[in-house]
């Protein structure tokens, strides 16, 4: 589970830097990484490294999600600014 969570987390970080569809992909992958990372962290029978990898995936997934959300907010602000300039 922790490997999947880390793959999703790094995918979210990479997608946040991609052009147009990347921001939505970053949001989805970030949510997935946070969910799987949380499950991997909460598994009490797992080894310490596996739990640490789950916590790292949760954190990186949250960063990817926040970067994607920031891009959405910036796009909406730019649209509003253009609307005010033209209207």
pLDDT tens digits, 27-60 = 999 999 999 999 999 988 989 899 999 999 999 9
pLDDT at 33 (0 to 100):
96
- Predicted TM-score (pTM) of the model is 0.88
Question: For the chain, what is the radius of gyration of the CA atoms?
Answer: 16
Q: Taking 90 as the threshold, does the pLDDT of residue 84 lie above it? A: yes
pLDDT at 87 (0 to 100):
81
Largest CA distance in the chain: 61
Contact criterion met (CB below 8 Å) for 4 and 36:
yes
Tokens coding 87: 């209207």
pLDDT tens digits, 2-28 = 899 999 999 999 999 998 888 899 999
């Amino acid at each position: 589970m922790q490997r999947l969570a880390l793959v999703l987390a790094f995918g979210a970080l990479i997608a946040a830097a991609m052009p147009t569809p990347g921001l939505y992909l970053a949001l989805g992958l970030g949510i997935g990484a946070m969910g799987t990372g949380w499950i991997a962290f909460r598994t009490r029978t797992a080894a310490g490294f596996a739990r640490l990898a789950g916590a790292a995936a949760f954190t990186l997934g949250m960063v990817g999600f926040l970067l994607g959300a920031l891009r959405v907010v910036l796009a909406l602000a730019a649209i509003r600014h253009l609307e005010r300039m033209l209207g």
